[in-house]
Structure 1
């Protein structure tokens, strides 16, 4: 059914997430929208043939100069209609590259999550997810960032003020706009507060059905940036923008329910640890699959600067009950709140890919009835390396995923091939640079 638009609406905005989670899209006329909402709109597939800086990959087979970068139909999901409150309530839709017959563009992150969601439902489960983000705010503009060469930036507020009631009052209009405008944009928050670091905030998005949860997480980052623009503020979701400060997480909270959503299938009151056998299979699946899918949680060079000991981010393949030093944290105080928190993803993760990796890994554990043989960590998870450690950089992680038959089983060869090609490209762009650290260390003395 053609979605009902206000009769005075003359234009519509739509967007989709590329492989890096960047929102790409257009504003189109009402006439164009009405003519193509069902059949789709031709969109140059270079959006899956270039990187976050619009530089064309030299190693991609999905598209490239060899294919001429043709148009590929992108289809609006009419169930995602919302209005943008800071743009005169312009209608907005999310889109993806899913075909009506179920076939789609292998590289499309939202289409990938759709497939995993359908597998979950076919197994008789309703997946409930939420992602939370930390990010730093600066009193800068896009122009000033370039003029300063991304150095000597002015944080929104100075000092280390985690959970401060005082600091947000300095920017109460921005703080209130975040909460209120995001809610009006159908991204309701459960909480918003400062974190440890100058100008750093954390927001927890209210949980929802898995695809809608990923939609909200993907839109959250762009929405925060746009709201920030209106206050003369730049928001960054880099995993680790400063080596001396904590990194920024993108933790994923997840649980499985019965189709009627009346019973949390992760909770078992009769069990000593209140974890159901299903939850243990799910958790075992995530531990087992994590090394094979790590680039979907940590997709950038910078991601691995966050995954260091003592920085509130995990470094080992561990789990525990309510322990913030492990990769996977179980929260199970009551049925309504029992869930698994994946603490590996940073705020730079693509929500569609990170959530797809989490859900697919958990379902793998259920399908194969994997036993939770790894005991829960007691105390410091950084020192517990019994089950292995998280790879130290994007190159190592990409090599594992590239050759993983398990990753191809979960996501298909087409996706794994394209995604690992893009991560290999990212590593090569980094490897050819000469850093300031190298100049200071070697220029004179060597």
Structure 2
């Protein structure tokens, strides 16, 4: 990542460069950031005078307090910062004072990677790809809603505007909010490619440039944090909840992914001799996604609420098919070819833990490459307009329709444990079952409205 000093962007990947920025910006506090198993951002804050201890990975925290991490008898864990993630927080800059952050990997007391850290899970997937001669590039598209807040600061169900897709001001009241988000992200080293109002009222999207898969996961976590922080300064609540409004399009996280051949120094998905411009590697990667998607959708769509987005009629993919152009398919191939050739999987939503979601998507695709799986024929018809009978006759299968079904598929499949390892796999399944049980035993507003006076 990059940081901004004196209105210029400089890479700060060495301790000396970081020390210089700390001095110039009078950085007093350092936030050491990591995520729990759900992808919720956490941080331990120390003073900048402790930079040496920070860099050496000597800052300890209680892992038993973090969801999905350690039991209480093995709770001591350490934070090892990624120096390239250093950034001054633009909203913290005041006269003579500022704060900065590092994104960290979690270590055991003996210096080895802690197996329960989602970032370490993704690092293992990066290593797996490298062993096969590939680097992985990812570009996600995270949508969010802006809601008004009440006098106590709690979010309401009133959206911040009633604009539609690509509408400008005066209908799009979110332009000023998006501008401030853009400025904050740019100051933290992001390259922003597009910003616009989305389909639903109060819904927005800001796209940042693709990068290697680990940097992109770091960026996705940072992006969600920045969006929420800036929105709050406007008295608004930003949410990445998949389906916050019934009857409206939900929030997606379309994920564009490609493999880069480290030996040939080229995009491994591109082939000029193919009718679709795709290589055998790309077809096998697509096949790996299609054959594994039922077994990983509990990770890319991790909430009870996620499956209220994955229903017909709201542009969210429900059916397991791929196409070279068709946006109604689960997987599509954007038109760009050459170095920009990529596969887009459209089911993920932004409530997913980016480290785990990107890891399992990449792992599923690599599974197809390693096994040299053959992709089925591309499906170019409008799937959304098909009847159940037509879908059956064309043998187009459905994604899981509930978190309960998805977690069952996740447990039965091989890709989850293969990608996550025993610790994260078991903790993730336990967390999702607890969530399902909580939902099952809660009396919801719909039930009261439907049954309270009727019976």
Q: TM-score, normalised by structure 2?
A: 0.88
Residue 370 of structure 1 corresponds to which residue in structure 2? 373
Equivalent residue in structure 2 for 1:18, among 36, 58, 62: 36
Provide the C-alpha distance between the structure 2 equivalents of 1:12 and 1:420, rounded to a whole number of angstroms: 33
Provide the C-alpha distance between the structure 1 equivalents of 2:251 and 2:160, rounded to a whole number of angstroms: 16
Provide the C-alpha distance between the structure 2 equivalents of 1:397 and 1:168, rounded to a whole number of angstroms: 39
Indicate if the aligned counterparts of 1:18 and 1:47 stay in contact, CA closer than 8 A: no
CA offset digits 1:208-238 (Å, max 9, x no partner): 1111011111110111111111222211110
Residue 275 of structure 2 corresponds to which residue in structure 1? 272
Any gaps of 5 or more consecutive residues in structure 1? 51-61
1:298 Cα deviation from its structure 2 partner: 0.6
Residue 73 of structure 1 corresponds to which residue in structure 2? 78
RMSD: 2.2
1:402 Cα deviation from its structure 2 partner: 1.9
Equivalent residue in structure 1 for 2:314, among 311, 319, 330: 311
The 10-residue stretch of structure 1 (291-300 or 402-411) with the greater mean CA deviation from structure 2? 402-411
| Secondary structure of 2:37's aligned partner | coil
Provide the C-alpha distance between the structure 1 equivalents of 2:31 and 2:176, rounded to a whole number of angstroms: 26
Residue 288 of structure 1 corresponds to which residue in structure 2? 291
Q: Which has a greater percent of strand?
A: 2
Provide the C-alpha distance between the structure 2 equivalents of 1:397 and 1:47, rounded to a whole number of angstroms: 27
Shift in alpha-carbon separation, 1:169–1:106, aligned structure 2, 3 A = same
Any gaps of 5 or more consecutive residues in structure 2? 1-13
| Secondary structure of 1:294's aligned partner | helix
Indicate if the aligned counterparts of 1:196 and 1:246 stay in contact, CA closer than 8 A: yes
Residue 416 of structure 1 corresponds to which residue in structure 2? 425
The 10-residue stretch of structure 1 (170-179 or 355-364) with the greater mean CA deviation from structure 2? 170-179
1:89-100 alignment, distance < 5 Å:
89-98=98-107
Indicate if the aligned counterparts of 1:304 and 1:392 stay in contact, CA closer than 8 A: yes
Provide the C-alpha distance between the structure 1 equivalents of 2:225 and 2:33, rounded to a whole number of angstroms: 11
Shift in alpha-carbon separation, 1:379–1:142, aligned structure 2, 3 A = farther
Residue 153 of structure 2 corresponds to which residue in structure 1? 144
The 10-residue stretch of structure 1 (255-264 or 326-335) with the greater mean CA deviation from structure 2? 255-264
Indicate if the aligned counterparts of 1:133 and 1:248 stay in contact, CA closer than 8 A: yes
| Secondary structure of 2:397's aligned partner | coil
Residue 354 of structure 1 corresponds to which residue in structure 2? 357
| Secondary structure of 2:166's aligned partner | coil
Residue 8 of structure 2 corresponds to which residue in structure 1? none
Shift in alpha-carbon separation, 1:292–1:339, aligned structure 2, 3 A = same
Provide the C-alpha distance between the structure 1 equivalents of 2:291 and 2:183, rounded to a whole number of angstroms: 40
Residue 4 of structure 2 corresponds to which residue in structure 1? none
1:332 Cα deviation from its structure 2 partner: 3.9
Residue 44 of structure 1 corresponds to which residue in structure 2? 62
Shift in alpha-carbon separation, 1:203–1:369, aligned structure 2, 3 A = same
1:47 Cα deviation from its structure 2 partner: 4.3
Indicate if the aligned counterparts of 2:295 and 2:409 stay in contact, CA closer than 8 A: yes
Shift in alpha-carbon separation, 1:172–1:444, aligned structure 2, 3 A = closer
1:104-115 alignment, distance < 5 Å:
104-115=113-124
Shift in alpha-carbon separation, 1:99–1:275, aligned structure 2, 3 A = farther
Shift in alpha-carbon separation, 1:397–1:12, aligned structure 2, 3 A = same
1:307 Cα deviation from its structure 2 partner: 0.4
CA offset digits 1:245-267 (Å, max 9, x no partner): 11010111111112278421111
How many residues are treated as equivalent by the alignment?
Answer: 426
Provide the C-alpha distance between the structure 1 equivalents of 2:339 and 2:406, rounded to a whole number of angstroms: 35
Residue 178 of structure 1 corresponds to which residue in structure 2? 181
